[in-house]
Amino acid sequence: MKKSTVEYLDFFIIDIAAIEISLLAVRFIHQQIGPTSSVALWNLSIMLPMFHWFLLLLMSPYKGVLQRGYIKEFVALLNYQVGDFCLITVFFYFLNVMSRPRRSLLLLYFIIVIPLTYVMRFVHKFHLKRRYNDLRHTRQILVVTTRDLAREMISEITSSVIRNYQFFGLAIIDCEMTGEKIDGVSVSADRESLIEYAKSNVVDEVFINFPDDTACVLKLAQQFLEMGITVHINMEESYQKLPNRSIGNMFGYDVLTTTVSPISIHHSILKRLMDIVGGLVGSIITVILTLIIGPIIFIKSPGPIFFTQYRVGKNGRLFKIYKFRSMYTDAEERKKELLAQNKVKDGMMFKMENDPRIIKGIGSFIRKTSIDEFPQFFNVLKGEMSMVGTRPPTLDEYIRYSPSHKKRLAMAPGITGLWQVSGRSNITDFDEVVKLDTQYIENWSLGGDIKILLKTVRLMAGGDGAM
């Protein structure tokens, strides 16, 4: 898939690190054998990253970096280093802008930086390969196409050794082939079972490729968008009704991409950085709180201090959520007896007043102040949750979702969110919850997240328990 400059930021950072390490090595070696010009080396340490960035914009040197083998990677790296050498020569020797480094320093630098960068890139590729084998870090892609186009698509999609996506499912739309295999890939669904298949499985994105049926493509795209799934369409026509459209390239095909959320890769990085900082601070507070309230919970109700439960995260991923235990140890068993008192009309969530399962005293206190939610900062650090997002449903809630309900899982669940700060205690209509979550996803902004966090703090300080 075509990548932006920011998406290659990891390889750019690796190259810059290799540059600075190489310059440090050059400085150390020359100090051992005689005096050297520190000013010239400092100039190089400043200018080389700038040259590297300029070449990144000019040459697109990381294009196809995940598909390159050992020889192609070495050739690409040499081309990049030749570009650096040319810029150094022009800048320091022809223009004579700054104190020029000695030629022996430059020679030693290139002798060190080329193999070092080569090794560091492949170590990173090995890390990425292992990382992308984990469902949490891999985009699960469902391909919807025809029997005649399927074989070509399978070849294109699986050609890359390192992929940040997983060819999760194949749906053949023009005939019944469910259970059969095409070039070793099992057909997962047909036209009739496609929507139910997407609802019941972890699907992040759908790639639709059958250009002869525009009406069907548009209908399917709208159905997937209702579920919060990103859609790629292998057609160049503009679909004005589809939100957040962009033209790109996927597996060599020109596609129109549409998604319910306007969040960009730049904003995703900023949101994740905010989560890491908030997660670290929250985790430290959690440790302190454990030392204070942990013994009280155990004395009031002997058993584990923490409560863990499987929840459903982004696009259907399962994860274990952590909380301070605010209920007696038999709370889950007793829930069945209390279903008749559920305040949520359609039973899509469970909420009741004066829940007898809550530990008297400490349980009520930590729930009212939302202290019981603090261990979720560990979920944030692990990347399973975000500081701000939508409420993660339980498994029994999730299996009752309609396709449109799944839209609220299009982003990572959050410790707090628009629904919570809008007065969660007063909202008992699940469709209203979905409406608020959808509003948050479709109108996401970093400023909006900050406002929700500030409002959450204010509500917690007032004892309204907004988390």
Mean pLDDT for the stretch of residues 183-203:
89
| Residue that is written with structure tokens 């050609």 in the block | 159
The structure tokens listed for 144 are 């919807």
Helix (H, G, I), strand (E, B) or coil at 282: helix
Whether pTM > 0.75 for this model: the answer is: no
The structure tokens listed for 70 are 């050992």
pLDDT in tens, 146-169: 888 888 888 877 766 566 677 778
For the chain, list the domains and their CATH numbers: 6-131 (no CATH), 138-258 (3.40.50.720), 265-461 (no CATH)
pLDDT in tens, 445-464: 888 888 899 888 888 776 55
The structure tokens listed for 266 are 């730049």
Residue 292 CA: distances (Å) to CA of 236, 296, 359, 371: 60, 8, 17, 12
Give yes or no for a contact between 225 and 210, defined as CB atoms under 8 angstroms apart.
no
- Pairing between strand 306-312 and 318-324? antiparallel
pLDDT in tens, 256-312: 787 877 777 778 888 888 899 899 999 999 999 999 999 999 998 888 999 999 999
pLDDT in tens, 219-253: 999 999 988 898 988 865 545 567 777 777 777 77
CA dihedral 341, 344, 348, 352 (to 10 degrees): -50
